[in-house]
Amino acid sequence: MSAIVDVKTLVIDGKEVSARAGQTILEVARENGIEIPTLCHLDGLGDVGACRLCVVEVKGNNKLFPACVTSVFEGMEVSTQSERLQKHRRTILELLFTERNHICSVCVSNGHCELQSLAQSQGLTHVRLPYRNPDLPVDASHERFTVDHNRCILCTRCVRVCAEVEGAHVWDVMGRGIDSMVISDLNDPWGESSCTRCGKCVQVCPTGALFDKSKVGSSHPKYPDFLPYLNMMREAK
């Protein structure tokens, strides 16, 4: 006998869809071919709603909701592409570009960067806000990998994959607000940390913040698709 499934029906961008209770708006939208842009979300990792790119409107509420961490409810009416949302998404991307030094042309991830391709898909041709030009370190102490804080957008995918999937929890976030930094162990050099050298953080990093030293100066695509597969195989065990 199959378990009773609690089905919710809702409307996303005018399309009637059904979902299981507890699913997020993002999951349901993607299952139904409705694309909501995301940056900190990655299939296979827990969601934290850090980047705010996936914000959507829910009828009856003036607030915006991050689709990746908002559960669906019966009768919900969601709008994902309004002009207001597109404006906010562009502004979020602009803020990310100004916050650190994203010099696409000389970045190891040029052409394979999620921030860069989102800027293009969201119609961003320039940044209206002044750049902050912070002086940030590059840690190349690890024998295989480098962390370039100039390119970090604090999505925390590295933190989550290291803690949730690798189980090492080498990465975490230090400081608050604009001073936040991703650190290894207790702000030790990466090469002297308890890193297991698995490289998962490098593969899930959406920008050129974490990269493989052997790929410098060449095409550096990343392959985060291993995650859902790895999770599935572990569950099947």
Q: Which residue in 33, 60, 126, 178 binds another protein (CB under 8 A)?
A: 126
The string of DSSP codes covering the chain is: -PPPP-EEEEEETTEEEEEETT-BHHHHHHHTT-----SS--TTS-----S-TTEEEETT--SEEEGGG-B--TT-EEES--HHHHHHHHHHHHHHHHHTT--GGG-TTTTS-HHHHHHHHTT--S--SPP------EE--SSSEEEEGGG-----HHHHIIIIIIS---EEEESSGGG-EEEETTTB-GGGS------HHHHH-SSSSEEEGGGTTS-----TTHHHHHHHHHHH-
Residue 218 found at the interface with another protein (CB under 8 A): no
Of 98, 119, 100, 123, give the one whose Cα is nearest residue 110.
119
Q: How many CA atoms lie within 13 A of 189 on its CB side?
A: 8
130 or 217: CB nearest another protein: 130
> Please, what is the minimum distance in Å from the beta carbon of residue 123 to another protein?
5
150 or 156: CB nearest another protein: 150
Stretch binding another protein (CB under 8 A), from 7-15, 41-49, 131-139, 210-218: 131-139
Residue 198 found at the interface with another protein (CB under 8 A): no
Residue 205 found at the interface with another protein (CB under 8 A): no
> Please, what is the minimum distance in Å from the beta carbon of residue 104 to another protein?
3
> Please, what is the minimum distance in Å from the beta carbon of residue 135 to another protein?
4
> Please, what is the minimum distance in Å from the beta carbon of residue 232 to another protein?
34
> Please, what is the minimum distance in Å from the beta carbon of residue 16 to another protein?
31
Range 84-123, binding another protein (CB under 8 A): 97, 101-107, 110-111, 113, 116-117, 119-121, 123
Residue 216 found at the interface with another protein (CB under 8 A): no
Residue 22 found at the interface with another protein (CB under 8 A): no
Residues that bind another protein (CB under 8 A): 97, 101-107, 110-111, 113, 116-117, 119-121, 123-128, 130-131, 133-136
